[in-house]
Structure 1
Amino acid sequence: MVVVDDLGPRGLRVRQPLLGRAGPGDGGQDEDERERGEGGRRQAGAHRPMLPKSYHAGRMTRPISVHKFGGTSLGSAERIVAAARLLRKAAARSPVVAVASAMGGVTDVLLAAARDAERGRLAAARRAVAAVRDRHQEAAAGISRATGKAVAFDEGLLGQLDTALAGVSMLRERTPRVTDLISSFGERLSAPLVASTLEALGTPSHAVDARAFLVTDERHGGAQCDRKRSDPRIRRALLPLAGKGVLPVVTGFVGRSPSGETTTLGRSGSDTTAALLGAALGAREVVIWTDVDGVLSADPRLVPSAHLLSRLSYREAAEMTYFGAKVLHFPAVLPAIAEAIPLVIRNSFAPAGRGTTVSSRGSERKGVRAVTSIPGLCLISLDGRGMTGVPGIAARVFSTTARLGVSVVMFSQASSEQNIALIVPESDRARTVAALLGEFRYERLTGAIDGVTARAPIAVVAAVGDGMRGTQGIAARVFDAVARAGVNVEAIAQGSSECNISFAVEEADRASAVRALHEVVTPE
């Protein structure tokens, strides 16, 4: 087996093979034992391994690219064949590792089946399993017709799924652990279909279960990957395949705990898988294939004239995601960002489009790049002349919301210190107000604080752009545009980075504010 040491995000060094070491699933020593002590020593006289063609003098001359396909991009036989053709095209340029999500909607069906089983409705759960079987069989048949090669669907996994659902039904209990196991079957079914399609088209491919190398914590439903333990495993599992010209298709979304239980990576978990693989392999890029052209300058439902943003910086993408942009779930791709690996968002239904590249370097254009917004919020205000010059008021506000687990979307404080405004989800309104009233009950009795008030529904609108930094007159243009639209601004916040100006408005004015602000966006 080839063992690889990391030299950083752009280079890999190959060591001598370790004799007597078993690979994942080969039996022998436990993986962790093999990484310690005796398992880490080279054997005397060991021969150098045959290096993959992508290596030269111990370094990769053609860095790997990671391509992840979402559920809509794998939703049918036609889409799976299209995805395989895109992978073949990419593999002609550089080695490729693919990450497969479940076929669109399958994870929801599996979770619904788990809920039915928990209620004792095993027959309904089994009907859902039959629907999943039929869908994958139809996909396999369609792939066979499209490629002219027989592609079979292996039903063996569905027996394991049926066993899990029967256990839930018998116990009338659906633990987070078994929920992760049941929801993992979507990716475990789709990855072999994608790999078989590639084989049918003439590209050597192999489906790889990510549980063989993605080690996570025990937090079911939103597990965090242990990169120190996972990265070497990823390289050992995937680099030899890539070096032989085999295109690995990895199951997204899933991992395993140290105790060997199946875990899932939470929201946008397949994006997380792709980012983790990209980081471990020093990838040239991570491409996320979806059903939209990329990141737009505004929500096209609110601004029909919104245009595609060809480049974004990591900071801009983070701001846009936080303030409502849905294309990229920023926390999911942090492993790739930590290694400065570019993320490319492309449309698998229109692959000729350039998409959006998110990297450390964004556009050099000045001014506002995009407008985003979040509806369904509440503005909570603390008012009182007695707050002026009193240290710790804001800290107590944040301590209170932290104890409740309430996310503060925006915070604003008057320079006179007589008013503090915070924006929270409207669903958290009642308990946040009650907690703040309790926290400041003494100040209310003494008159230092007049009271705690709440207004809803509120929306937050944000202007985003690295080019706003140091550009004179940006704030004036932003608020002049909003004023011309007749929109009243309830609260304002701007970070010292100057790449975001956010403000609160009545939710009824949200669309007007977004459209007005989009008029000052710098065109591509």
Structure 2
Amino acid sequence: MLVMKFGGTSVGDAACFVQVANIVARYLDRQPVIVVSAMSGVTNTLLALARQAQTGDTSVTSAPVAELLASHQAVIRDAINSERERSAVSHDLAAYSRDLVSILTGICLVREATGRSLDAVASFGEKMSATLLAGVLRDRGHKAQAISAEDLIITDDNHGQAVPLIPISNRRIARHIPRLVEKGIIPVITGFIARSTSGSTTTLSRGGSDFSASLIGAALKAEEIWIWTDVDGVMTADPRLVAQAHPLEALSYAEAAELSYFGAKVLHPKTIAPALGKGIPVWIKNTFNPDFPGTLIAASRPSANSGNTVKSITSMANMSLVTVQGSGMIGVPGIAARVFAAVATTGANVMMISQSSSEYNICFIVGKSHSDKVVVALRSEFARELRAGDISDIWTQDVAVLAAVGEGMRGTPGVAGRLFGALGRDGINVIAIAQGSSELNISLVVEESQRVAALRCIHKEFLG
């Protein structure tokens, strides 16, 4: 079986749905299993409606929902020819619309949008998209069935970022999907959404349709997993920021995981793990340039692009550097443990850590939206040390994080020298540095205003 996931831009309008159907038709002999995202922008719209509803604004249940339904009905009108199929798909979309109105009305009444409610509202984007794509495929003579991943992927109750329960999910997927495929039916499965053990709809965090595809591919022991997007593969840098960026032929799992973690938009950060566990190759392909081979992500280090010590540079904006500093930290066991225990209470994810060998300070990166809560938690934890002067200050600054990634850096002398030398020549100040013993990634922190200049500088030095 071949698992193919199509993202939101790949199903942005009627023409896109037709393009996707044509792509799927090319690979019928490989028993395709489809995972689909919501139409581009729909999830944002749904969550905005839910947040508006919690103010008690009942208008969200009328015109906005009607507009959302109309955008999906436009796909029916322009991409489905059979009146019978149009009627069937329209009926299903209307039912989803009524269910959405019911949930939004409930949110209006209680004036609260819980995580459970937000996940329920967000799920309609994928449900409607899968229904449309299955209809477009059937209209072209292919047997296809829309399936909610709520019936396949079981998670915990952590709404918004649910964690899949792999054994039970694997059993459900392996029991249900092969039966359809053996009958010649193309399963069109909702990405992003799942169901908790208590029966409520959950989501795998934003962008989680990639993760859905990888989970399903691993459970099915698929031959390959193809992630269809709107670029020609994993790029050497963000092409919107670096004009010279170009697609890579191949990456190792480790390289791809580093890039996704540090902000590469092509992949969801969790995507690689299920595929890695089963040794399944992952391809990143362009829906709008389907004949381009794309980027292969494989278990072992690929030979393609192996001449480059650095394969790709990625960056994250809207980050905060949190610094805890004081002479009283020097030689005192447990300071780092207390720092990160306090941070954990805020729910902030620590993206990078750097500490001076003198132990005079420790700094780390969190998302800007969490920085104020983190500082409050740290000041509470170290209130005694701050009063005594053992810790002189705890502060934040707005920064950007860049990561240069490539297995070719391992054991190659002079890579760091080239990188920091190039930045120095361009007058870019490096605030903090981190590198793991794997030598796979050099991470660095710069002022937010210098992010793009630093990205272009490193790309020019290593990739032209």
Settle same-fold status: TM greater than 0.5.
yes
Q: Say which of 57, 63, 75 aligns to 1:139.
A: 75
Is 2:379 aligned against 1:379?
A: no
Counterparts of 1:380 and 1:386, CA distance in 2: 18
Determine which structure has the larger helix proportion and give its number.
2
Amino acid at match of 1:273: S
Which sits farther off after the overlay, 498-507 or 372-381?
372-381
**Aligned CA distance change for structure 1 residues 417 and 352 (closer, same or farther; 3 Å):** same
The two structures, once aligned, show a CA RMSD in angstroms of: 2.5
Which letter does structure 2 place at the counterpart of 1:71?
Answer: G
CA distance in 2, matches of 1:375, 1:157: 37
Shift of 1:149: 8.5
Q: Distance in 2 between matches of 1:380 and 1:164?
A: 40
Does residue 274 (structure 1) correspond to residue 209 (structure 2)? The answer is no
Distance 1:382 1:206 in 2: 55
Shift of 1:382: 4.0
How many Å separate the matches in 1 of 2:379 and 2:57? Answer: 46
Partners in 2 of 1:397 and 1:433 — Cα distance?
10
Gaps of 5+ in 2: none
Letter in 1 for 2:128: L
Instruction: Return the match for 1:512 from 432, 453, 457.
Output: 453
Which amino acid counterpart does residue 307 of structure 1 have in structure 2? H
Q: What is the alpha-carbon distance in structure 2 between the residues aligned to residue 437 and residue 244 of structure 1? A: 62
Quickly say closer, same or farther: Cα 1:437–1:339, change in 2 above 3 A. Answer: same
Q: In the alignment, is residue 367 of structure 1 matched against residue 309 of structure 2? A: yes
Question: 1:368 touches 1:520 (CA, 8 Å); kept in 2?
Answer: no
- Counterpart code for 2:170: D
Taking only the aligned residue pairs, the percentage that are identical comes to 45
Alignment partner, residue 334 of structure 2: 392
Q: 1:87 aligns with which of 19, 24, 39?
A: 24
Q: 2 CA distance for matches of 1:463 and 1:204?
A: 45
CA contact (8 A) 1:469 1:497 kept: yes
Moved more, 244-253 or 329-338: 329-338
Question: Helix, strand or coil: the match of 1:521?
Answer: helix
Structure 2 CA distance for aligned equivalents of residues 423 and 254 of structure 1:
29
SS in 2 for 1:66: strand
The CA distance in 1 between the partners of 2:56 and 2:36, in whole Å, is: 32
1:416 aligns with 2:364: no
Q: Aligned partners of 1:111 and 1:410: how far apart in 2?
A: 30
Q: How does 1:143-158 map to 2 (within 5 A)?
A: 143-145=79-81, 151-152=86-87, 153-154=90-91, 155-158=94-97
Q: Which segments of 5 or more consecutive residues in structure 1 lack a partner in the other structure?
A: 1-63
Give the residue type in structure 2 aligned to 1:398.
F
Equivalent in 395, 409, 416 of residue 454 of structure 1: 395
Structure 2 residue identity aligned to 1:140 = I
Q: 2:297 aligns with which of 358, 366, 379?
A: 358
1:378–1:197 Cα change, 3 Å: closer
SS at match of 1:519: helix
Per-residue deviation at 1:443? 4.7
Partner Cα separation in structure 2 for residue 383 and residue 208 of structure 1: 53
Equivalent position SS for 1:421? strand
Go from structure 1 to structure 2 and tell me whether the alpha carbon gap of 1:445 and 1:167 turns closer, same or farther (over 3 Å shift).
closer
1:314 touches 1:358 (CA, 8 Å); kept in 2?
A: yes
- Note closer, same or farther for the CA distance 1:446–1:217 as it changes in structure 2 (3 Å cut): closer
Which among 57, 66, 69 is matched to residue 6 of structure 2? 69
2:433 is equivalent to residue 492 of structure 1? yes
Sort the Cα spacing of 1:157 and 1:401 in 2 relative to 1 into closer, same or farther, 3 A: closer
The TM-score with structure 2 as length reference comes to 0.90
Give, in whole Å, the separation in 1 of the partners of 2:254 and 2:325: 33
Structure-2 change in CA distance of 1:149 and 1:352 (3 Å)? farther
Q: Give the aligned length.
A: 457
1:481/1:385 Cα in 2 relative to 1: closer, same or farther (>3 Å)? same
Contact kept in structure 1, 2:386 and 2:393, CA below 8 Å = no
AA aligned to 2:259 is M
- Retained in 1: the 8 A contact 2:234–2:266? yes
Q: Distance in 1 between matches of 2:252 and 2:218?
A: 18
> How do 1:426-505 and structure 2 match up within 5 A?
426-443=368-385, 448-449=390-391, 451-452=392-393, 454=395, 456-505=397-446
